Chain A
């Protein structure tokens, strides 16, 4: 489909020019601009453009988001919302960076929003950095590096958990199992499972240096959806 679209545009000079793109340079730029076909698709039908981006980035974005939030459903929700916002706000119309940079930045920001909603403010990530980002349209290098360091801290926090606590945590966050199910499967008492989860979340909180009680993360996905509903955020 995108191939036929682009060739039509290139061969028919009478066709309406896509916004911001001249007719002739398109062809020459198709080789160097990875977003060329996607842009063409968006000009023709935004839904089709979204479909292309979805196929191209969804998996990788989820894989990236999960490094922050350590939860399958949460990660997929975050990426899904980024795409929804992208479509609803028609962000694709006036995007200045590449689609890839936009999507990855949006996913990282949303993951941070999630962590803030769950754990409270992240001390070492002052809001001023966010503001700068919002005004310039590009990330401050400090912020990018901070986010990558945060990912490493979170990963380390989970990795240093005792093996059993780690297993309980993963089953809870990735297999969507209830505490009772985990207790039955690992032949532990429900109290032990609860303790493991509490400890794991405590480690995460330490990694984030947040101040809020972490128990809520145990009921996180529901609360997260609620918080999404109540706090307007940019994608």
Chain B
């Protein structure tokens, strides 16, 4: 049989200049595997005559040998398996990675999902929460609440320090829970109360009704408070509960930077200054049983200290963050 396909025709074809009829000829001719060999020979010839790319085959061969060595060491198995296990491995690795990430997010949830509102020493701040409830933070206090979804799925906050809560009642009667010290919880629907978590948890109820949960987790106890009542929970001591004799103040005195002292022992006043102004107060032992009464307006610790020096015969020595209060007798003696 006469072979119509000459190398020239194949080159014409490879250059894209073959007519449809010529292509048909080549198509028929290619049916014979032996002709395909000729075809590929012409294909190579064209790449030799018209190279599209200049490559460094010495370098490529070195690369190839390196890859071969790696293959021989690492993957003696059949190539099908070689391809399959990295895929599985990648899947497992990806799953593990995702699981790890999820775990990490869960573990660090308190860090990224918590918003903290804090006050400095001597600072009093009022904030309105997303649900409309108002919280007034006394100095040196912090309120933590969830960053997302507060008021929608939960109304759970925790308090360190002292704050007044004016909780609004939601249409769906959602509970508002404040966690204080030692796992004490105040559960309310809508009410006004003051909570202090310094040295135990003290709650004073102004209006409405709250439920207090305290005690160990195994044996939780609850009590319901009535307006005007105060409760103090402190680990290691019995629960203290009482009722203010006077009409309940509509808001705590500290909210207006006011301090109401009624026969308050001086150590308690000293503690208050430390709580609210960050001042370490050292009281001379002779002063421990002195009591203070009266109303003071104090924006800074100095205001209280000035009042003290005026009311009592005391001498105040102040360094950076520490104050020492002692009787002024010694001084008087020397002057007399």
Residues of A within 8 A of B (CB): 47, 50-51, 54-55, 57-64, 66-67, 72, 75-76, 79-80, 83-85, 87-89, 97-98, 100-101, 104-105, 138-139, 141-142, 144-145, 148-149, 152, 155, 229-230, 232
Residue B294 interfacial (CB < 8 Å): no
Closest to B15 in A: A152
Contact B52–A66 (Cβ < 8 Å): yes
Partner of B68, one of A75, A87, A141, A155: A87
> Main secondary structure on chain A at its contact with chain B?
helix
Q: Supply 19 further A-B pairs (C-beta < 8 A) apart from A76-B55, A97-B36, A100-B37.
A: A47-B65, A50-B64, A50-B68, A51-B61, A55-B57, A57-B44, A58-B60, A60-B48, A62-B55, A84-B67, A88-B71, A88-B79, A139-B30, A141-B26, A141-B30, A145-B26, A230-B90, A232-B80, A232-B84
Partner of B44, one of A60, A76, A230: A60
Contacts of B29 in A (CB 8 A): 141
A230–B143 alpha-carbon span in the complex (Å)? 51
Residue B220 interfacial (CB < 8 Å): no
Partner of B23, one of A57, A75, A145: A145
Contacts of B80 in A (CB 8 A): 232
Among A80, A98, A100, A141, residue most surrounded by chain B Cβ atoms (within 10 Å): A141
A232–B36 alpha-carbon span in the complex (Å)? 27
Within the complex, what minimum Cβ distance (angstroms) separates A208 from chain B?
Answer: 16
Residues of B within 8 A of A (CB): 13-14, 16, 23, 26-31, 33, 36-37, 39-41, 43-44, 47-48, 51-55, 57, 60-61, 63-65, 67-68, 71, 75, 79-80, 82-84, 86-87, 90
Within the complex, what minimum Cβ distance (angstroms) separates B165 from chain A?
Answer: 55
Contacts of A50 in B (CB 8 A): 64, 68
Contact B27–A141 (Cβ < 8 Å): yes
Contacts of B27 in A (CB 8 A): 141-142, 145
Contact B61–A58 (Cβ < 8 Å): yes
Contacts of A62 in B (CB 8 A): 53, 55
A142–B24 alpha-carbon span in the complex (Å)? 10
Contacts of B68 in A (CB 8 A): 47, 50, 84, 87
Contacts of B14 in A (CB 8 A): 148
Within the complex, what minimum Cβ distance (angstroms) separates A229 from chain B?
Answer: 6
A142–B27 alpha-carbon span in the complex (Å)? 7
Closest to A105 in B: B40
A60–B13 alpha-carbon span in the complex (Å)? 18
Closest to B51 in A: A63
Closest to A99 in B: B40
A139-B60 CB under 8 A given contacts A66-B53, A84-B71, A104-B43 = no
Within the complex, what minimum Cβ distance (angstroms) separates B219 from chain A?
Answer: 57
Within the complex, what minimum Cβ distance (angstroms) separates A155 from chain B?
Answer: 8
Contacts of A149 in B (CB 8 A): 16
Contact B57–A59 (Cβ < 8 Å): yes
A63-B60 CB under 8 A given contacts A58-B55, A97-B36 = no
Partner of A88, one of B41, B65, B82, B86: B82
A89–B29 alpha-carbon span in the complex (Å)? 31
